[in-house]
Structure 1
Amino acid sequence: MTGSCEAHVSQGVDHVAAGLVACLPALNRYIKQSIDRQLPYPALPERQLTLLQYVAEHDGTTVHQAADALRMMPNNVSALVTRLTEAGLLERHQDDTDKRVAHLCVTAKARQRIGEVENIAAVQLATALRTLTDGDRGALGSALGALEALTRHLRDHSA
């Protein structure tokens, strides 16, 4: 009986994994399209926005710390930092003890843009959630903790 139960659980896990693989990129794509249409300026490429959001949450981080956290090559992060600095969205502050190290900070302009993007996404999702049944909204709300745990696991165990 144990083998049958394990097979059933595995099929359930495989079904959930396949559903998430199908839904999450589409959900992200629809939100991004909505953001792109509503911004009064060109949207940043995804990697630039991801770096800005990371620096906003980790004020004073270095290029190497951001590269490690975002699973990117330091030279790629450095190139993104250069573009974002030129656009007035990031600032580099030289380390007091090691002049080769720069600490990154987002500008007020960047904080405003991050807020605009997050607001557009939140409004878009809230509007879509209002079209669902109470049961579907409840199920999604109940799943938030599990999705956060899954995200942490993937972040901590991805190479």
Structure 2
Amino acid sequence: MDQTPSSPPEDALDPFEDFLCFSVYSTGLAFNRIYKPLLDRLGLTYLQYLAILGLARKDGQTVSELGEKLFLESNTLTPLLKRLEAAGLVERRRSTEDERVVRITLTDKGRATAAEARCVPAELVEATGVSIGRIADLNRELKALRTQLRGG
């Protein structure tokens, strides 16, 4: 089989340098190292932080609505929400119309935490050293790629 300059032999690919999926994965890990001390002071994990911000944007969502936004299955989201409830940040209530539906609302403490958490993105932008415009471009490109990977 002939190799062209634009397609190196498969064994020449370095997954740590040449694979987009590894670059995305390792960048996520790097982001988590930056986020951790910022979120530790709020007593939140990254996923808890996202859930709090999602509820701050639209309180009273169902577990399934929040799960769709966070790309989380209920078997991951439910324990996360139980920990937030134990911390006094959210309340979970079964719908009176359909007991299978659980709505999540922020408590006063949860709303205060969400307000405090809004400063985290500014601190993160500062830590990256990348302009807001470039971050917006990267975000747009990654969301488009995610949409393609999920089937359009």
1:132-159 superposed Cα distances (whole Å, 9 cap, x missing partner): xxxxx6xx23324422312432453455
Secondary structure in 1 matching 2:53: helix
Match of 1:10 in 2: none
Gaps of 5+ in 1: 1-6, 8-13, 130-136
CA shift in 2, pair 1:75/1:68, >3 Å: same
Q: Residues 8-157 of structure 1 correspond to what in structure 2 (within 5 A)?
A: 21=24, 24-25=27-28, 28-36=31-39, 39=41, 43-123=43-123, 125-126=125-126, 140-157=131-148
Q: When you count helix as a share of all residues, which structure comes out higher?
A: 1
TM (normalized to structure 1)?
Answer: 0.62
Name the amino acid aligned to 2:77. Answer: V
Q: Runs of at least 4 residues of structure 1 off by over 6 A? A: none
| Identity percentage of aligned residues | 23
How far apart, CA to CA, are the structure 2 residues paired with 1:148 and 1:117? 20
Secondary structure in 2 matching 1:143: helix
CA shift in 2, pair 1:57/1:152, >3 Å: farther
Q: How many pairs align?
A: 137
Secondary structure in 1 matching 2:44: coil
1:54-113 superposed Cα distances (whole Å, 9 cap, x missing partner): 222232211122222222221221111111112111112332421221211112212222
How far apart, CA to CA, are the structure 2 residues paired with 1:22 and 1:80? 22
What is the Cα-based RMSD across aligned positions, in Å? 3.4
How far apart, CA to CA, are the structure 2 residues paired with 1:127 and 1:68? 29
TM (normalized to structure 2)?
Answer: 0.65
